[in-house]
A and B are shown apart, each in its own frame.
Chain A
Amino acid sequence: MSNIEIKDMYFSYTENEPVLNGINLTLDSRTTAIIGQNGAGKTTFVKLLKGLLKPTHGQIFWDGKDISQMTVAQLAKYIGLVFQNPNDQIFKGKVIDEVMFGPINIGMSQEDALDHARKALSIVGLAGTEDENPYDMGLSDRKMIAIASILAMDTDVVIFDEPTIAQDYKAKEKIKQIIRQLKSDGKMVLTIIHDMDFVAECFERTIVFAKGNVLLDGPTAEVFAQKEKLTQAYLEPPHVTQLCNRLGYQQTFLTVEDFVAYVKRTLKK
């Protein structure tokens, strides 16, 4: 299992507008969500991890090795990133070519790439669309193709930038399963996401970004218990937790199931 260490990292696109202000984090095998306000620097952060941008100060270590010594092509073998906007990722006229592009690009044989691509398409529920043109597909399917393209590369680290955009609840369940499977395959999973209910149900660790800093970092339940800090970061607790707060419960719950079990227990008494 790999680990990524970020030390005192700063970044800005233009001189007098800092975007990241000294990030210190160690990412490990726990499934991790990154949440925070629009413009907080989440996408910028993951682009830095993948070597697409260079820190203006500070370092990133991959299993102890400084990534500034590695090329983007070398890093691509280890880190897969599903872009926030599928338009930034998809460029082929045929679904299967799109999904095979990444694997071939990192040196997989044609046969292996085809095999991986077929498997990835069936995991995201798009088996049978191999010959379709991604441009005729809606946003939800395009997002799934972008996910399949990264899964097919079989990288040690998988980063999702807002995977649930445009997805209905069945598709969201599917993405939860994919994340759990990646974790049990020993991969590191990092997900940027605005859906707090999804975060509550799926991630062990949650990191809150606010204005280029890490405001909170810990087990998901503990992070969602910090009402004031969440508000400060333009976030809100999951819906079930909101209901607990309204009802004045001492204990807060993250999921419908836990909440219902608790109410049933208290009613019996």
Chain B
Amino acid sequence: MAKIVVEHLKYRYPLTDELALKDISFTIEPGEFIGIIGENNAGKSTLCQALVGIIPNFYKGAYGGKVFIDDLEVAKHSISEVCRKVGIVFQNPFNQVTGSKLTVYEEIAFGLENMGLSRTEMMERIDYSLKLLDIYQYKDRNPFDLSGGQMQRMAIASIIAMRPEVIILDEPTSQLDPQGSEEVFRAVQSLSQEGISILMVEHKMEKIAAYSDRVMLLKDGKMVAFDTPQKVFSLENLEQYGVNAPAFTRICKKLGIKNQKNGCYPVTLEEAEGAINLLKNGGIADE
């Protein structure tokens, strides 16, 4: 059974004229890793907030359509009920910090407090997620004394510790160093392999191409594509949607190298490497 079902979702912020989400419908299976891409102001963060019920429960405005997580319709339940199933990492990690906890450790513990876990289980989860995000050494520091990237790591750790069935990440690696962002993608991938559904908004197209099962492309509040990374990044009019394909894809487009089987351009480092080697050895390239 599908994990997430979205039917004809429409939304307009209070005091604005234009819909931020325009009739969006899709379904997502358990364990799928979905990349969400699109230009600035396309509606990516708005969609994320609608999936956890912040829209329409916190942001009012005009709302239409339905969002289901399993059989729970998010608009009809409180945010705290929905958050038991769905965790969200906000675009600005600063907005995730409670402001009431004095240490990084307590900050992670906060989310686990009302879950009915044993003390040992709680401690295990906190230690695990702090180590996974490589911030264990800062566990006693005040959250506001962390560097930007360390704070973003804490925001991710606090959601992973809660082990929700669905995790939504809104540009979670925007302030991470290159190796840190690779580690986060790997960690999130292994969560998806355990059956957790992942929706991740990102501008790092090379990573989206390498890790997503499917890519959702938004533009002006509409879903304009939802397909494999190869298909989406091979779209002829991708630039009109305000998206730049991965560097590997741009190279192959310029060299006229397509995968002969599916008619798509290579999207990852490995695919581009293979295709260029083939070209060098006198293989096929169509201009």
Q: Do A and B come from one complex?
A: yes
Q: Is B82's beta carbon under 8 Å from chain A? A: no
Q: Is A242's beta carbon under 8 Å from chain B? A: yes
Which of chain A's residues 218-269 have a Cβ closer than 8 Å to chain B? 231, 234-236, 238-240, 242-243, 246-247, 256, 259-260, 263-264, 266-267
The listed residue (B148, B153, B247) touching A162 by CB distance below 8 A is B148
| CB atoms of A239 and B206 under 8 A apart | yes
Q: Is A214's beta carbon under 8 Å from chain B? A: no
| CB atoms of A168 and B148 under 8 A apart | no
| CB atoms of A260 and B150 under 8 A apart | no
Contacts of A37 in B (CB 8 A): 177, 179-180
| CB atoms of A166 and B178 under 8 A apart | no
The minimal Cβ–Cβ distance linking B256 to chain A, given in whole angstroms, is 10
| CB atoms of B254 and A235 under 8 A apart | no
Which of chain A's residues 126-165 have a Cβ closer than 8 Å to chain B? 136, 138-141, 162, 165
How many residues from A make CB contacts under 8 Å with B? 43
A84 and B244 in contact (CB under 8 A), knowing A39-B149, A39-B150?
Answer: no
| CB atoms of A256 and B45 under 8 A apart | no
Closest to B138 in A: A39
The minimal Cβ–Cβ distance linking A53 to chain B, given in whole angstroms, is 13
Question: Interface readout for B142-183 with A: 1 if CB under 8 Å, 0 if not?
Answer: 000101111001000000000000000001001111111110
| CB atoms of B247 and A263 under 8 A apart | no
The minimal Cβ–Cβ distance linking B58 to chain A, given in whole angstroms, is 14
Q: Is A213's beta carbon under 8 Å from chain B? A: no
Q: Is A197's beta carbon under 8 Å from chain B? A: yes
| CB atoms of B178 and A168 under 8 A apart | no
Contacts of B251 in A (CB 8 A): 240, 243, 256, 259-260, 263
The listed residue (B92, B177, B243) touching A168 by CB distance below 8 A is B243
How many residues from B make CB contacts under 8 Å with A? 44
The minimal Cβ–Cβ distance linking B168 to chain A, given in whole angstroms, is 16
The minimal Cβ–Cβ distance linking A128 to chain B, given in whole angstroms, is 14
A167 and B40 in contact (CB under 8 A), knowing A38-B149, A84-B148, A85-B94?
Answer: yes
Closest to A236 in B: B178
Contacts of A236 in B (CB 8 A): 178-179, 182
CA distance A167 to B244 in the complex (A): 12
The listed residue (A139, A162, A246, A263) touching B91 by CB distance below 8 A is A139
Q: Is B124's beta carbon under 8 Å from chain A? A: no
Question: Interface readout for A65-92 with B: 1 if CB under 8 Å, 0 if not?
Answer: 0000000000000000000110100000
The listed residue (A85, A165, A231, A243) touching B269 by CB distance below 8 A is A243
The majority secondary structure among interface residues of chain A is: helix
The majority secondary structure among interface residues of chain B is: helix
| CB atoms of A168 and B150 under 8 A apart | no
The listed residue (B150, B153, B177, B272) touching A234 by CB distance below 8 A is B177
Closest to A39 in B: B147
| CB atoms of A138 and B41 under 8 A apart | yes
A247 and B242 in contact (CB under 8 A), knowing A168-B40, A236-B178?
Answer: no
A194 and B177 in contact (CB under 8 A), knowing A140-B40, A166-B40?
Answer: yes
| CB atoms of A171 and B40 under 8 A apart | yes
The minimal Cβ–Cβ distance linking B47 to chain A, given in whole angstroms, is 13
The listed residue (B45, B147, B246) touching A43 by CB distance below 8 A is B147
Question: Interface readout for B116-144 with A: 1 if CB under 8 Å, 0 if not?
Answer: 00000000000000000000000000000
CA distance A44 to B38 in the complex (A): 33
- 3 smallest CB-CB distances across A and B, nearest first, come from A38-B149, A169-B244, A239-B247
| Extra 13 A-B pairs, beta carbons < 8 Å, given A169-B203, A234-B177 | A87-B92, A166-B171, A168-B38, A194-B149, A194-B175, A196-B178, A235-B178, A236-B179, A239-B247, A256-B247, A263-B255, A264-B255, A267-B280
Instruction: Mark A residues whose CB is within 8 Å of B.
Output: 13, 36-39, 43, 84-85, 87, 136, 138-141, 162, 165-171, 194, 196-197, 231, 234-236, 238-240, 242-243, 246-247, 256, 259-260, 263-264, 266-267
Instruction: Mark B residues whose CB is within 8 Å of A.
Output: 13, 38-41, 45, 91-92, 94, 145, 147-150, 153, 171, 174-182, 203, 206, 242-244, 246-248, 250-251, 254-255, 269, 272-273, 276-277, 279-280
A–B Cβ pairs within 8 angstroms, 30 of them: A38-B147, A38-B148, A38-B176, A38-B180, A85-B92, A87-B92, A138-B41, A138-B91, A139-B92, A141-B41, A162-B148, A162-B175, A166-B40, A166-B91, A166-B171, A166-B174, A168-B40, A169-B203, A170-B242, A194-B176, A194-B177, A197-B247, A235-B178, A239-B269, A240-B247, A240-B251, A243-B248, A243-B269, A243-B273, A256-B254
